[in-house]
Structure 1
Amino acid sequence: MHRIHVIHENPDWLPPLAEAFARRGLPWTEWNLSGGVFDLAAPPPEGVFYNRMSASSHTRGHRYAAELTAGVLAWLTRHGRRVVNGPRALDLEISKVRQYAALEVAGVAVPRTVLVLGEPERILAAAREHFAGGPLILKPNRGGKGLGVRLFPDLDALEVYLHALPDDEHPADGLWLLQEYVRAERPVITRAEFVGSRFLYAVEVDTSAGFELCPADVCAVDVGPSPAEISAPRFRVLEDGIDAGLRSRLEGFLSANGTEVAGIEFIRGSDGRRLVYDVNTNTNYNPEAEAKAGLAGSDRSGPGAIAAFLGAELAASTTRAA
């Protein structure tokens, strides 16, 4: 039987998608790739495969889930299966450096960034050479949810942090990024959501509580302030969307890189620059923001749009196989 196969490593993120599938009566199954055994000599099952592997999988004890997924996607592709967010999307998900290179090819501006591999003294020397006295941001090349992103007012603060950093808090791939601090017009960023490589809607996110910006309710269990500590909703759907020129460039970027479902985050600096700093190919949605915007339960919601898109792809796949 042809069905939708959802590749992931975190069951906590599946319920909204499962509900959207149920509303449409779509047959589906989950492939939890936190582990697994695959006979590469056998053909995969029929259907459409939706890759939701996350860059933050290593923070949940699944250090090699992304590597396993890369192998599975190669197997699926070799057998001609329809894969949504295939190998190229996974490659972008687990490397901000490769994201930035691909964004710049598409004509999208990114923050000035320096890639570093090495001990604290090398990181400090690079910061001294490229960012003078600060402020600057330090982030892992492979992160997810904004984890590990820290702002330092000066190099002294960076030095103290690096020399006290436990080994288990180093980046999963060993690569650090030093990045310019972009002073925003307001303490917000914008996250644009795309399904089928086409713009769906944009969310304004309050960053005053920090950089851990996963919009899903489940992400708020262990991180972030309580509702009483926030004077306004942290996530708000923007009625006017985003600039048409940026929208076109981002859609072109996604299409050129085989990425059909994504959330792309950007910031507008006080100097007028608009810079994209993160691409999330495993995207989650904020149900409260969608409900307030009148999107919940419809095909204009994130889960609803994905279900509609995958349902259409499944129908096309079934027809081709007939």
Structure 2
Amino acid sequence: MTDLAILYEHPQWFTPLFAALDRRGVAYQALTTNFAFDPADVTCPAPLVLSRLAMSAFLRDAEHPIFWAQSLFAQWERAGARVLNGTAALAVDTSKARQLALIASLGLAIPVTRVVHRAGDVPAAAATVGFPLVVKANIGGAGAGIARFDSADELKAAVADGLLPTSIDGVLLVQDYVPARNGTITRIETLDRRYLYAIDVAGGGAFDLCPADACQVPGSTITMTAVEPAAELRAAAEAIAQAATLDLGGVEVMIDDRDGVPRFYDVNALSNFVAKPLDVLGWDPHDRLVDRIVGWIGETR
């Protein structure tokens, strides 16, 4: 048994992480999600397991592993493994509604939101939010499952025609459309609940925002720029990471152009880091991640 196992689903995103581990001589077992597990088994693949499970998995495979992993991580944790971004973090990652409740409980601003489980309830919820608004899937990924509506008539027509976004858990968010200042959102990455780096992301309409290399497509208008957020935003991101039990993860915030209020709206337990980090940041966050993984391995021995 190696000291480290990495469970991943995307075939390309984690090549840089594996390369960084190889450079450092850190042995690991790479596990895809295509296997069965025995719920009576009392063993685990390694004392330390790193989850690299993306909520966007359902976009790549209808038979996605998101809910399967909830039981798998619980099984490994009962067997004594330290699962980084394990069951507690996954519970937050798999629910935007839960994320917003957690953020609001910390006294931080969020977009006005209503949570429903029936499409027919969306118009009534929208009446309490106002227009323009967005309807979001509770479980999304890479901007999937988000639609903007500018009027009640437009929304009612979408409901009648069955054209609302859908979520794999059947839950929808009806949310105020926040005009992000300068069309920019800030993604703050954390490692072990502490600030790691931040980037401003522009050009994605605040929906289609993905920093991974595999998300960069020819002709994309999305730009990513390293920034140093204000101290209060860094502290807020760290508080969210702590409350969400994120061993590794990103927090997204935008400045509401109407009133200048920072509104936090997303917690992402999959940090595949920015594309071309040496160009954007001037350093590679995978090296910092490997440093911490080595520390975690030592703590589990």
Task: Return the TM-score normalized by structure 2.
Answer: 0.92
- The match for 1:202 among 198, 201, 204 is 198
Q: Which amino acid aligns with 1:203?
A: I
Residue 76 of structure 1: SS of its match in structure 2?
Answer: helix
- CA separation in 2, counterparts of 1:70 and 1:215? 25
- The yes-or-no answer on 1:140 pairing with 2:133 is no
Give the distance between the partners of 1:71 and 1:51, measured in 2 at CA.
13
Give the match's secondary structure for 1:247: helix
Matched, 1:316 2:299: yes
Q: State yes or no: 1:150 paired with 2:147.
A: yes
User: 1:73-84 alignment to 2 at 5 Å?
Assistant: 73-84=73-84
Q: CA deviation at 1:131?
A: 2.6
Residues 46 and 185 from structure 1, CA distance in 2 versus in 1: closer, same or farther, beyond 3 angstroms?
Answer: closer
Q: Which sits farther off after the overlay, 99-108 or 187-196?
A: 99-108
Please point out which of 199, 224, 231 is paired with 1:235: 224
Amino acid at match of 1:75: Q
Matched, 1:305 2:301: no
Q: Deviations over 1:88-143 (max 9, x none)?
A: 11001110111111112222221110011113x32122212x134x1111110111
Residue of structure 2 in register with 1:280 after alignment: 268
What corresponds to 2:28 in structure 1? 28
Aligned twin of 1:256:
243
SS of 2:294's equivalent in the other structure is helix
Cα distance in 2 between the residues matched to 1:158 and 1:290: 44
Q: In the alignment, residue 131 of structure 1 is paired with which amino acid?
A: V
Mapped contact 1:235–1:289 kept (Cα < 8 A): no
User: What CA distance in whole angstroms lies between the structure 2 residues aligned with 1:244 and 1:63?
Assistant: 42
Superposition deviation, residue 23 in structure 1: 1.6
Q: Name the residue aligned to 2:121.
A: 122
For the 8 Å contact 2:37–2:72, the answer to whether it is kept is: no
Letter of the 1:277 counterpart:
Y
The 5-angstrom pairing of residues 171-182 of structure 1 reads 171-182=167-178
- How far apart are residue 285 of structure 1 and its match? 1.7
Find the counterpart in structure 2 of residue 17 from structure 1: 17
Tell me which residue corresponds to 1:57.
57
- Mapped partners of 1:144, 1:105: distance in 2: 24
Contact 2:42–2:79 (8 Å) recurs in 1: no
Query: Alpha-carbon deviation of 1:62?
Result: 4.7
**1:17-71 superposed Cα distances (whole Å, 9 cap, x missing partner):** 1111112111112222254233533311333101122222222115451221111
Question: Compared with structure 1, are the counterparts of its residues 149 and 277 closer, same or farther at alpha carbon in structure 2 (3 Å cutoff)?
Answer: same
Q: Distance in 2 between matches of 1:191 and 1:220?
A: 16
Q: Which runs of 4+ in 1 moved over 4 A?
A: none
TM-score by length of 1: 0.86
**Runs of 5+ unmatched residues, structure 2:** none
